[in-house]
Amino acid sequence: MTRLPFTLILILIGVTLNGNAWAASTVDWSMEEFKGDLQDMPSLQRGFQLYTNYCLGCHGLEHQRYGRTADDFEIPRELVEDNIIFTGQKVGELIKTSMPAVPAKVWFGATPPDLTLEARLRGPEWIYNYLKTFYVDEERPLGVNNKVYPNVGMPNVLLPLQGVQRAICEDENCDKLEVEEGSGKLSVAEFDQVAYDITNFLYYVGEPARLERQKIGVYVLLFILVLICFTYLLKREFFKDIEH
């Protein structure tokens, strides 16, 4: 009996740490791995641009500013103001969508959520797989479905890039997706890169401080290394008198 509280705590810790796996286990889709890379500036810059082109029309990033994003990605602020901001906002402002929430709910059956914290909510791997697994489904209102978000209300906005993707079924098992050749602007590998860059960007937006932390972390480790050398020398100095 005394072990019960202990077991409960262990289970709670397990569920907390394993949040993503818990959420993912509700769909039957073997997730493709995603490894974010915040040192890859070209990827983050491309992701930022792709996001404003293809996603911001519906999803805001209301906890993130254009200015900070520009600084973190080493893009001059004027360049962002001239080429990335379509909403008439200023570079110092938060990244807002111009989509009004109420009609959006009528059009799509669901309001497109703000995506600032999406990578923390669902995990970047989920987003990456979500972007890659839209497929044709005539039974859905928009003619499209998704493997990791069944019966999704979002239109397949990346279709012009990826092309028409269909589920191929064998013995009632429809786990294979195939893009119709020549139906999209990009090759499979190029589209993977697009999905990667957008996800990497959202991974950054979920916790921008991570980028700084990684940079500072290197300096902290170097500092500790130098400190260890000095501490060792000091120890030698002290023990010299004791040993002799």
Alpha-carbon distance 42 to 197, whole Å?
9
Contact 42/56 with Cβ under 8 angstroms? no
Alpha-carbon distance 197 to 192, whole Å?
9
CB of 76 to ligand HEC, least distance (A): 25
Residue closest to ligand HEC when measured from CB atoms: 55
Residue 229, number of CB atoms within 10 A of its CB:
9
CB of 15 to ligand HEC, least distance (A): 19
List interacting residues with ligand HEC (CB under 6 A): 54-55, 57-59, 108, 110, 112-113, 115, 118, 122, 127, 130-131, 152-155, 157-158, 198
Tokens 């997730």: give the residue: 31
Question: Toward ligand HEC, which CB reaches closer, 101 or 234?
Answer: 101
Contact 60/96 with Cβ under 8 angstroms? yes
CB of 113 to ligand HEC, least distance (A): 5
Question: Toward ligand HEC, which CB reaches closer, 66 or 111?
Answer: 111
Question: Toward ligand HEC, which CB reaches closer, 14 or 19?
Answer: 19
CB of 205 to ligand HEC, least distance (A): 11
Cα-flanking dihedrals φ and ψ of residue 224, to 5°?
Answer: -65, -40
Question: Toward ligand HEC, which CB reaches closer, 49 or 77?
Answer: 49
